[in-house]
Amino acid sequence: MKALVIEKPGQAVIKDVAYPKPGRGEVTVKVNQVGICGTDVHIYKGEFLSPYPIIPGHEFSGVIHEIGEDVPEYVTGERVAVDPSLFCGKCSYCLTNRGNHCENWGALGNTVDGSMAEYVKVPYENLVRIPDDMSDAEGAFIEPLACVVYAMHRLKLKVGDQVLLFGAGAMGQQLIQALKTAGASQLVVVDLSVEKLAMANEWGASHTFTSDKLDEVRELQPRGFDIVVDATGIPEVIEQAITFTGPVGKYLQFGVTPSDAFIKLNPFDLYHKDWTLLGTMAINHTFIPAFNWIKEKRIDVKPLVSKTISLEDTISFLEGPRDPNLLKVQIKI
Ligand SMILES: [Zn+2]
Ligand SMILES: [Zn+2]
């Protein structure tokens, strides 16, 4: 079968590889649609904990092609999306609902071969059947939305909270919809791009500002916001963003920074303003609620797909440079 293989950091090729025959408790999925994630670019550049060679791809939907032994319920031809999480289920973190910190953590497309290929084998427990009115593109969007759902679990937003969000990319646009749905009152969004801010307005931002207008954001809430979220992952932005956190406010780091980045933080503010600083690491048993959110059309991800490309074109996309105005790019296999 055809697959995109990252042979080593900086070297991706399209090549013929062995068909992944499903083992016990596994099914092989014929892949239809795959989202490209920042993590895939990190794997391509050698900035992640992946072994090489590896087939990337962890945001995907497809059709069940072959079923291994000891797989109940499923039949070939069913349309599915797949939770890429490979939590061991046995370690102390898994046993205390912290699977995203599993001592034996793995994920399809990150530590084992993923979906940038014609076929991928997956544990049947990770499958979710997708209904006829859910497109392949939406099915491939459940995984990124599952990261947003986990962020919302971490945030515990209270109805009526006033929220400031930095970053209106594909993840930011989902966060806007999630924050609005969860009951934010004022929802202020900051980004460099006027086009992305226009979309933020459509999804429920109450106010939008370009990044050079932070003075106006300060005027709007001189004492700060109940919740501040960074979805840029840019250290200079984060340093600014935290200072907008109000009394007894929460700051959430959603965007992924380089692992060696540092910021300045005033510990007096942290003490004096009763702040809570939060992180949110990927997915933690949040794939099914994300699926339900899309199924019930509470969150619309379809307009977030800026472009659909071929597996062949994915190589130059990974190499870059990439258009910063693109939201999500998906691959049609
Ligand atoms: Zn991802
Ligand atoms: Zn574990």
Query: Which CATH number characterizes residue 41's domain?
Result: 3.90.180.10
Q: Are residues 243 and 322 in the same domain?
A: no
CB 197 within 8 A of CB 208: yes
Q: Are residues 105 and 197 in the same domain?
A: no
Q: Are residues 173 and 208 in the same domain?
A: yes
Q: Are residues 54 and 174 in the same domain?
A: no
Query: Containing domain of residue 225, as a range?
Result: 148-279
pLDDT at 292 over 90: yes
**Residues 312-322 pLDDT 10s:** 999 999 999 99
Å from CA of 128 to ligand 2 middle: 21
Å from CA of 231 to ligand 1 middle: 14
pLDDT-based confidence at 88, cuts 50/70/90?
very high
Which ligand is nearest the CA of 104, by number? 2
Which ligand is nearest the CA of 99, by number? 2
Residue 289 within any structural domain of the chain: no
Å from CA of 254 to ligand 1 middle: 13
Residues with CB under 5 A from ligand 1 (ion): 37, 39
Q: Are residues 170 and 274 in the same domain?
A: yes
What is the model's pLDDT at position 49? Answer: 84
Å from CA of 37 to ligand 1 middle: 4
Q: Are residues 253 and 152 in the same domain?
A: yes
Residue 291 within any structural domain of the chain: no
Å from CA of 281 to ligand 2 middle: 15
Residue 284 within any structural domain of the chain: no
Q: Are residues 166 and 224 in the same domain?
A: yes
**Residues 110-141 pLDDT 10s:** 999 999 999 999 999 999 999 999 999 999 99
Q: Are residues 6 and 137 in the same domain?
A: yes
Residue 100 within any structural domain of the chain: yes
Å from CA of 248 to ligand 2 middle: 34
**Residues 260-282 pLDDT 10s:** 999 999 999 999 999 999 999 99
- What's the mean pLDDT in 143-158? 98
Bridge partner residues of 239 (DSSP) = none
Å from CA of 103 to ligand 2 middle: 5
- What's the mean pLDDT in 38-49? 91
Q: Are residues 272 and 320 in the same domain?
A: no
Å from CA of 285 to ligand 2 middle: 13
Number of domains the chain is built from? 2
Å from CA of 60 to ligand 1 middle: 10
Residue 286 within any structural domain of the chain: no
Higher local confidence (pLDDT), 23 or 258: 23
Residue 265 within any structural domain of the chain: yes
Which ligand is nearest the CA of 83, by number? 1
Å from CA of 122 to ligand 2 middle: 17
CATH number of the domain within which 159 lies: 3.40.50.720
Å from CA of 126 to ligand 2 middle: 15
Neighbours of 25 (CB within 10 A): 14
Which ligand is nearest the CA of 86, by number? 2
Å from CA of 57 to ligand 1 middle: 8
Residue 204 within any structural domain of the chain: yes
| % of the chain beyond a pLDDT of 70 | 100
Residue 296 within any structural domain of the chain: no
| % of the chain beyond a pLDDT of 90 | 96
pLDDT at 197 over 90: yes
- What's the mean pLDDT in 159-187? 97
CA–CA distance, 235 with 85 (Å, rounded to integer)? 28
Q: Are residues 77 and 186 in the same domain?
A: no
pLDDT at 48 over 90: no
Q: Are residues 122 and 162 in the same domain?
A: no
pLDDT at 259 over 90: no
CA–CA distance, 57 with 188 (Å, rounded to integer)? 33
pLDDT at 148 over 90: yes
- Reduce the secondary structure of the chain to three states and give it as a string: CEEEEEEECCEEEEEECCCCCCCCCEEEEEEEEEECCHHHHHHHHCCCCCCCCECCCCEEEEEEEEECCCCCCCCCCCEEEECCEECCCCCCCHHHCCHHHCCCCEEECCCECCCCECEEEEEHHHEEECCCCCCHHHHCCHHHHHHHHHHHHHHCCCCCCCEEEECCCHHHHHHHHHHHHHCCCCEEEEECCHHHHHHHHHHCCCEEEEHHHHHHHHHHCCCCEEEEEECCCCHHHHHHHHCCEEEEEEEEECCCCCCCCCCCCCHHHHHHCCCEEEECCCCCCCHHHHHHHHHCCCCCCHHHEEEEECHHHHHHHHHCCCCCCCCEEEEEC
To 5 degrees, how large is the angle CA 29–CA 68–CA 132? 40
Q: Are residues 196 and 263 in the same domain?
A: yes
